Structure 1
Amino acid sequence: MSAAPQTSNIHTLLILCFLCVLSICLEHFTNFVNHPRQFITWVTLGVQRVANGYEDVLRFSGNYLSDRNELLERIEALEVENEQISTLNSQLRALEVSNVELREVLGFRIREPTLSYVIAELAAPLVSPARDEVMLNRGLAHGIKQGSAVLDASGVFGQVVEVLPYTSRVLMVTDKRIAVPVRVERSGLHAVLTGVGDSRHLTLEHVEVTADIEEGDLLITSGLGGTFPYGYPVGVVTTRENDEAGVVVRVSIEPRAELNRRRYILILTGASYSETPAE
């Protein structure tokens, strides 16, 4: 029973040996196996190239996605940096403007040696119909008194009408409730300047048609009334028109103070003031 399988195995081994010897002989003495070998080699190389190409595609895709993500992250970082730089530039420009204005205020010359001043900063405008008022961040604690004259680096700004411990309420020179005794610098004419509720214009009261006042004349404080010291610029004459009766003249004045642009303002101290605008 066991002899049959052994005989079969021997036959199989002999057949395989015969085939090996036959293939060696054919390869050595003939070209019979060259063509199949070349075909198999060509197919194998093609498969290998396809596999390598697929690997290259995967590698390129991975690098592309990685580079794209890095680029997007870089763009986002640059955008954040650009916003920060823009904010910093805005802050620097605002600081530069404030420094220029502060230097102008510090360079403003006080004429009377008996007068001193306190530099105040605009705290808030008080918006109300026909009222030109602002709040400053200086008050009783800083020596501010009711009635104190207020100047900016260009001229008369207004007058303090209410003083709190750490703030003051100021009527601007254009408010209807304020009156400033002035003098025409060129001719010496005295007049009273009042506001009209418009931050761009002032007017002179009771000026006769024969008064020596012309367009372009500079008006300065006359020092009368004990409110505003002498010699500070108030405004420039822009128009002069006779009334219908031809008796008095309407004079329009442009204020010298930069009422809606200033941040730093001078409050004069060291003198007593006897007049304040009507509340």
Structure 2
Amino acid sequence: MIKALFLRESTAGYLSIALTILSVILISLEANSRFLDTFRSTVSTIAYPILALAETPYLLSVGTTEILASRASLTKENKILKDRLSKAEYVTQQVNVLSRENYRLRALLGSKSRLSTEVLVSELMFVGQTPQRFEVLIDKGSDNGIREGQAVIDADGLYGQVIETSPISSRVLQLIDVRHAVPVEVVRTGIRAIAAGTGNFEYLELENLSVNADIRQGDLLVTSGLGGRFPAGYPVGLVEAVNFDRTKAYISVTVKPSAKLNQGRYVLVVFQEDD
């Protein structure tokens, strides 16, 4: 047992000495000649695929990490840009709304300057519309001198009339309400008629107009002033269609309202001299 151990230790010593000598020889050859260049080149050629294969998991992990990091960065940047775009679109929409509102208000004030009667600018507070009822609530009332029956206009024509007041607000019946009717006349011929609401934003109807009446498509209708409720001369609408039926005593005439009844936020309440 002791002998075998001694032999193994002796063999290990010899191997160490041999390797040391071989190392010295190789170092000397490397330093003083190019003898090992071919050998080193061959070993490098053989070892390169092994090294590349061994390095592949590391390279894949680094590449995957970079891809994920880049994706996360792009996702975050995309979200920031979307948020900025949404805010920019909101601001743009608000600017457009204000621009349109300013345009309508300037048109309304321009209409006010053209009138010979006193008017009061009012803002819509509430719009109450059903298939048969078309009313709005405005922010001026009896404290501002408004009373029932006063005409209401916008920048384009007759809008309706005041039907109820409170100290701080008034209820306005719109021109197209089926309960509303206004005496009108045809500017071209002076023919008088009654324009009645239909419950439709697109048209009014003329009541009891004789088949012999001189009226045609495109004729402008204005308030006639008869009855004293509506001042004369305010635009009501343009004749859109005239339908003759010889079996009936009256013709059917539809009129497109001049006022923008479903647009804008401001109207003018008209004061006549006796108000």
- For the 8 Å contact 1:218–1:237, the answer to whether it is kept is yes
- Secondary structure of the 2:189 match is coil
Q: Partner residue of 2:98?
A: 95
Query: Larger deviation: 58-67 or 179-188?
Result: 58-67
Structure 2 counterparts to residues 164-203 of structure 1, below 5 A = 164-203=166-205
The letter for the 2-side match of 1:92 is V
State the match for 1:79 in structure 2: 82
- In 1, distance between residues paired with 2:152 and 2:58? 82
1:208 aligns with 2:214: no
Over aligned residue pairs, what C-alpha RMSD do you find? 3.7
* Deviation of 1:170 (Å): 0.9
Aligned AA (1:98): E
Counterpart of 1:146, as a letter, is: E
Q: Deviations over 1:84-133 (max 9, x none)?
A: 222222222222221221121111145553x2222222222222342222
Q: Report the Cα distance in structure 2 between the residues aligned to 1:236 and 1:99, rounded to whole angstroms.
A: 26
The verdict on how the C-alpha distance between 1:146 and 1:50 changes in structure 2, with shifts beyond 3 A counting, is same
1:222 Cα deviation (Å)?
Answer: 1.6
2:213 partner SS: coil
Q: Which residue of 1 aligns with 2:229?
A: 227
For structure 2, list consecutive stretches of 5 or more residues without a partner in the other structure.
1-6, 30-35
- For the 8 Å contact 2:231–2:272, the answer to whether it is kept is no
Q: Hey, what does 1:250 align to over in structure 2?
A: 252
Q: How far 1:199 sits from its partner (Å)?
A: 2.6
Structure 1 residues 66 and 13 mapped into 2: Cα distance closer, same or farther (>3 Å)? closer
What letter is aligned with 1:172?
Q
Distance 1:244 1:229 in 2: 35
Alpha carbons of structure 1 residues 16 and 166: separation in structure 2 relative to 1, 3 Å: same
Distance in 2, Cα, partners of 1:80 & 1:181: 55
Structure 1 pair 23–148 and aligned structure 2 pair: CA distance change class (3 A): same
Q: Tell me how far apart the structure 1 counterparts of residues 178 and 23 of structure 2 sit (CA, whole Å).
A: 124
Residue 188 of structure 1 aligns with an amino acid whose one-letter code is: G
Task: For 2:199 and 2:22, locate their aligned partners in 1 and report how far apart those are by CA, in whole Å.
Answer: 119
Q: Which amino acid aligns with 1:89?
A: T
CA distance in 2, matches of 1:117, 1:64: 69
Letter in 2 for 1:159: Q
**Per-residue displacement from partner, 1:7-57 (whole Å, max 9, x unpaired)?**
x9xx8999589647854786679xxxx79x959975887776666655444
Distance 2:85 2:231 in 1: 51
Q: Report the equivalent of 2:33.
A: none
The residue aligned with 1:241 is 243
Measure the CA separation in 2 of the matches of 1:128 and 1:196. 12
The verdict on how the C-alpha distance between 1:137 and 1:12 changes in structure 2, with shifts beyond 3 A counting, is same
Contact 1:132 1:199 in 2 (8 A): no
Choose which of 158, 167, 186 in structure 2 pairs with 1:156.
158
- The alignment partner of 2:160 has SS state of strand
TM-score by length of 2: 0.77
Secondary structure of residue in 1 paired with 2:152: strand
For 2:84 and 2:212, how far apart are their aligned partners in 1? 66
Q: Counterpart amino acid of 2:231?
A: P
Shift of 1:80: 1.6
CA distance in 2, matches of 1:145, 1:21: 121
Aligned in 2, Cα 1:19/1:216: closer, same or farther, shift over 3 Å?
A: closer
Task: Say which is worse superposed, 77-86 or 38-47, in terms of deviation.
Answer: 38-47
- Please state how far the C-alpha of 1:255 moved relative to its aligned partner: 1.4
Query: Which consecutive unaligned segments of at least 5 residues does structure 1 have?
Result: 1-7, 274-279
- The whole-number CA distance in structure 1 between the counterparts of 2:48 and 2:219 is 101
Q: Distance in 2 between matches of 1:209 and 1:70?
A: 77
Contact 2:101 2:264 in 1 (8 A): no
